Structure formats: C-alpha cells, structure tokens
Structure 1
C-alpha cells in the first residue's frame, strides 16, 4: 500500500466509523439535499455542490482498489457531472 493511500485511509477512519453508525438513507438524503440546494440557490450555491463533489471524490478514492472497471467508470461519471454542475454554477456566462 502506498504511503498516500495509507495516510488517506487512516485519516478517513474516524469519519467513516461515524457515518457507518447512521441510517443508510441519511448520507444519501444529505447529498441529495445539498445538490438540490446548490443548484437552486443563485450566487453562492455552487459552494454546496463543490462540497458534494469533494465528498464523492473522497469516497471514490477510498473505494478505488475494491471497484471493478464498470463501477469505476460509473463513479467517475458521477463525479464529473457534479464537477460540471459546480463549474457551471461558479462561472455562469
């Protein structure tokens, strides 16, 4: 295991333990609520979408070694869409 991966997993362990104690619907509803709020709030709403994007990227990094190629591609697509929404909200025409 690389030093970066080991430090990432060690730093993430407390947060993952606390999230695992929550009902399964809570993280999903929180991400959904932040995405909807970020899309609907003009001006600074992109910050909420950026937080969701970073959260999804963090989960992707943690799960990367255990994912199959199609699962990796689907999760990369979701992170890319969240990033596109973030950039569109942050830098409107």
Structure 2
C-alpha cells in the first residue's frame, strides 16, 4: 500500500514534468505576473493571489522532505505572506 505522500508525488509528476520542460523564466514570470495583477486589481484580484498561494503551497509540500530547517522556514514564510495578502485582498476593511 502506498503512502499518502507517494500518492501525492505520483499525482503531481505529470505537472512537474511539464513545468520542468518550460524555460526557467516562464514559471517565475507567471507567478510574478499573477501576484502583481492580483494586488493591483480591486475586487476579484485576490483570486489570482490565492492561485499563486496554492501553487507555492503545493511546491512546498512536494519539496518538504528534501529541505533543511532554514529552507523550510523561509518557504513557509513566503507562503504565509502570500496567504496574508490573499486574506487582506479578499476581506478589505
């Protein structure tokens, strides 16, 4: 019986292979563009930031076993900041 982690990694493999086949700048520019658009667009822009947050969380979960303590801390901080931006955009005062 395979573990939940192995199932998650196996399900993610096709998407990771597609991402690996792209030029290195493409995923970065896509994340940057979605994040900027999400922050700039009033109203529904938070959805774009939420997509980036979920993508970053997915990458964090995939890489977790191979990361050192400081690397984990930094990546969790990035996901937390993206989540804070998402919540702030979704529920403004």
TM-score between the two structures when normalised by the length of structure 1: 0.97
Mark the runs of 5 or more structure 1 residues left unpaired by the alignment: none
Tell me how far apart the structure 2 counterparts of residues 51 and 86 of structure 1 sit (CA, whole Å): 9
Name the structure 2 match of 1:50: 50
Measure how far apart 1:26 and its partner are. Answer: 0.4
Gaps of 5+ in 2: none
The runs of 4+ residues in structure 1 deviating greater than 4 Å are none
* Paired position in structure 2 for 1:18: 18
Match of 1:79 in 2: 79
2: distance between equivalents of 1:67 and 1:52? 21
Alpha-carbon separation, structure 2, partners of 1:7 and 1:38: 32
CA distance in 2, matches of 1:56, 1:76: 9
- Residue 66 of structure 2: aligned partner: 66
Q: CA deviation at 1:3?
A: 1.6
**Separation in structure 1 between the aligned mates of residue 39 and residue 8 of structure 2, nearest angstrom:** 30
| Number of matched pairs | 92
Q: How big is the alpha-carbon RMSD for the aligned residues of Structure 1 and Structure 2?
A: 0.8
Structure 2 length as normaliser, TM-score? 0.97
> What corresponds to 1:28 in structure 2?
28
